[in-house]
Amino acid sequence: MNEKIMNCFEIEEHLLDYVDNELAGSMQQVVAEHLQACLSCRKEVESYRKTAMLLQLRAVPEPPERYWDESWEKIRAGFKARVLPLAEKPLGVPPRSLRLQHVNWRPLVGVAAMFCIIVASALLWSWQSRSREIAAVAPQRIYMNPTPVVTVGRDDNFSDDMYRQMELVDAGRAAFGSIDPISKSVMLVRLEADRK
């Protein structure tokens, strides 16, 4: 009994292909032999065939002959109105304007937008990495040069003139980001020399 059930399960997988005659020769034979012995599988095959027959019952009525002529006239008029006058302009090579109308612009616009985004991202990344490089190099150059310690508070050793110069340096830093450390060192050394 178990063997029969297993066989039926296995056979069921192939029943629809059997109905369509799409099984390999040997398998078609195996299923045919099984169907001879198994009533339930045979009923199933019959039910598929009957379903197909029921669908074919939905026959489409043949319209009267004049319908096809009237329909052709409508199609002809619609085609002339919407596309091109028949026979007046050949369709083989459509004019440039018509060819452009057929172009689907949406994917092209998408690709162009993607290209712009990629280029903008690349430019931004290169600018940022360049800034990082400068920032990485700058401290080394500061340490290589003798830079005097600038006190935060008021120092009596510095004249008002010097403070004005230093404020200028701070203002420059605020305006342009970091000031060139070499120039800064030179400026501070000169200030120190003036003081002395």
User: Where along the sequence are the contacts to another protein (CB under 8 A)?
Assistant: 16, 20, 46-48, 50-52, 54-61, 63, 68, 71-72, 74-76, 78-79, 82-84, 86-94
Sign for the pseudo-dihedral over CA of 43, 48, 52, 58: positive
Q: How far is the CB of 64 from another protein (least distance, A)?
A: 11
Query: CB of residue 102 vs another protein: minimum separation in angstroms?
Result: 8
Q: How far is the CB of 20 from another protein (least distance, A)?
A: 8
Residue among 102 and 106 whose Cβ is closer to another protein: 102
Is there a contact between 178 and 193 (Cβ–Cβ < 8 Å)? no
Looking at residue 20, the DSSP 8-state letter turns out to be T
Residues 150 and 129: their CA atoms lie apart, in Å, by 30
Cβ 5 to another protein, closest distance in Å?
Answer: 19
CB of 61 to another protein, least distance (A): 4
Judge whether 143 and 169 are in contact, CB under 8 Å.
Answer: no
Burial of 30 (0-12, 13-18, 19+ CB in 10 A): middle
Q: Would you say 72 or 127 has its CB closer to another protein? A: 72
CA-to-CA separations, 106 to 68, 109, 116, 147, in angstroms, rounded: 38, 5, 16, 60
- Report the residue number, 78 or 177, with the smaller CB distance to another protein: 78
Smallest gap from Cβ 100 to another protein, in A, equals: 15
Shorter beta-carbon distance to another protein: residue 54 or 175:
54
Rounded distance between C-alpha atoms, residue 15 and residue 32, angstroms: 10
Q: What is the DSSP string of 18-30?
A: HHTT-S-HHHHHH
* Closer Cβ to another protein, 83 or 114, answer by number: 83
* Structure-block tokens of residue 94: 């459509």
Residue (63 or 177) nearer to another protein, CB:
63
